[in-house]
């Protein structure tokens, strides 16, 4: 119980009156990777986006219930934290990487300039460190001033992860981060996540069961807005009909 980082209580979310998340209770633990699987439309991405309230970019969304975030041994409701602070603490990486229309270097300066008061050299050092962490440094070290939009999909995705890491989040949410990438890039990102979990809590939505098996500490299976099964070995020993169907599919 001590290690719970994000606790969800009676969470329901509706879009224009349609329920997409139906009364979910769950706890995510520190230094673990939790994978959320399920058919498309089951509400897994919605659940993820509710945790940092980015779901609320759409004005038609209504949520009820609580999401608690651990803070110095206590829990605090995320609806009592300002959205801006919450989104710094809970970072998100989306399916399609969005790079800013700047150079690679400036993309990474964007959060740094905002959050820190470091001088130029210190900033540069941070940028290089984070690029090394996502294994992008060797590929782009000569092109830091080039336009970031020219990078490949995999490189962009790693750049976006690096950008999010610079805000030093406590929880990292990933929405199908590898679905558009080739095998090589997938491996790099999976390796990176396994290494990152020593520092932060990771929640990842994926439709790729192999990937979930590789990364998991825990797996959640969702269907029609509800958590049907969860645990470590649900893929090897599926109990519910819905999960069996999903795995065969």
Partner 1 sequence: MTDIKEKIFKNTIQVLMVLTLSILVFLFYFLIREAMPLFDYCKISDFLFGTEWMPVSFGNELKFGIWYFILGTVYVSFIAIIFGLVFSIGIALFITFSLNERLQKYIFAILDLISAIPSVVFGFFGLQVFSPIFFKIGVKTGNCVLLAGIVLTIMILPFMINSLCMTFFKLKKKYLIAASNLGIDKWYIIASIIIPESIKSIVLSTILANCRAMGETMAVMMVVGNAKVFPHLLGKGETIASLIALEMGTAIKNSPHYHALYAAGVVLLILTFVINQVVRIIGRDSE
Partner 2 sequence: MKTFSKILQIVSYISTILVVGVVLFIYIYFAYRSRNILNINFLLESPKGLVLGEEGGIFPAIIGSVYFSTTAVLIAFFPAICSAIYIKFYAKKRFRRFAHTLIESMASVPSIVLGLFSYTVFVYRLGFGRSIFSAGVALAIMILPFLERRFEKAFDEVDINLINASNNLGIHKYFMILRLVNKESFKEIVSAVLLCYGFAMGALAPMIFTGAVAYSDVPNSIFNPSMALPMHLYLLIAQGETQLDRAYATAFVELMLVLIFNIFAYMLTYKKK
- Range in contact with partner 2 (rule: CB under 8 A) among 3-11, 23-31, 33-41, 86-94: 86-94
Which residue in 25, 58, 60, 114 binds partner 1 (CB under 8 A)?
Answer: 114
Q: Of 38 and 169, which CB lies nearer to partner 2 in the complex structure?
A: 169
Q: CA-based angle 215:218:221, to the nearest 5?
A: 105
Q: Of 130 and 242, which CB lies nearer to partner 2 in the complex structure?
A: 130
Query: Binds 164, which of partner 2, partner 1, none (CB < 5 to 8 A, cut-off by type)?
Result: partner 2
Could you tell me how many residues of this chain bind partner 1 (CB under 8 A)? 3
Copy the structure tokens of residue 225: 């807005």
Question: Residues 94 to 153: which contact partner 2 by CB under 8 A?
Answer: 94, 96, 98, 100-102, 110-111, 113-114
Please say whether the beta carbons of 202 and 174 come within 8 A: yes
What is the contact mask toward partner 2 in residues 153 to 192, using x (rule: CB under 8 A)? -------x--xx--x-------------------------
Closest CA to 74 of 131, 2, 179, 139: 2
What is the contact mask toward partner 1 in residues 82 to 111, using x (rule: CB under 8 A)? --x---------------------------
- Give the DSSP letter of residue 29: E
Q: Of 100 and 137, which CB lies nearer to partner 2 in the complex structure?
A: 100
Sheet containing 18-29: order of strands: 18-29, 4-15, 61-71, 74-77
Question: Residues 130 to 169: which contact partner 1 by CB under 8 A?
Answer: none
Copy the structure tokens of residue 86: 């919450």
Does 116 contact partner 1 by CB under 8 A? no
SS3 content of the chain, % helix, strand, coil (to 5): 40, 30, 30
CA distance 113 to 175: 26
């Amino acid at each position: 119980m001590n290690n719970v980082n994000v606790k969800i209580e009676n969470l329901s979310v509706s879009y224009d009156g349609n329920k997409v998340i139906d009364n979910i209770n769950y706890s995510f633990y520190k230094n673990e990777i939790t994978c959320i699987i399920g058919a498309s439309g089951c509400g897994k991405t919605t659940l993820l986006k509710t945790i940092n309230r980015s779901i609320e970019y759409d004005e038609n969304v209504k949520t009820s219930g609580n999401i608690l975030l651990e803070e110095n041994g206590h829990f605090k409701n995320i609806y009592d934290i300002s959205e801006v602070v919450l989104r710094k603490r809970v970072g998100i990486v989306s399916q399609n990487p969005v790079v800013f229309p700047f150079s690679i270097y400036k993309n990474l300066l964007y959060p740094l300039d905002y959050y820190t008061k470091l001088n130029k050299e210190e900033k540069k050092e941070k940028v290089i460190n984070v690029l090394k962490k996502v294994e992008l440094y060797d590929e782009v070290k000569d092109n830091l001033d080039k336009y970031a939009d020219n990078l490949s999909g995999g490189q962009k995705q790693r750049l976006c992860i690096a950008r999010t890491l610079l805000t030093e989040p406590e929880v990292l949410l990933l929405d199908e981060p590898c679905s558009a990438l080739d095998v090589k890039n997938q491996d790099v990102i999976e390796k990176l996540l396994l290494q990152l979990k020593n520092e932060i809590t990771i929640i990842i939505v994926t439709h790729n069961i192999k990937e979930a098996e590789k990364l998991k500490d825990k797996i959640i299976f969702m269907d029609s807005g509800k958590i049907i099964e969860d645990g470590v070995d649900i893929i090897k020993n599926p109990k519910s009909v819905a999960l069996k169907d999903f795995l065969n599919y």
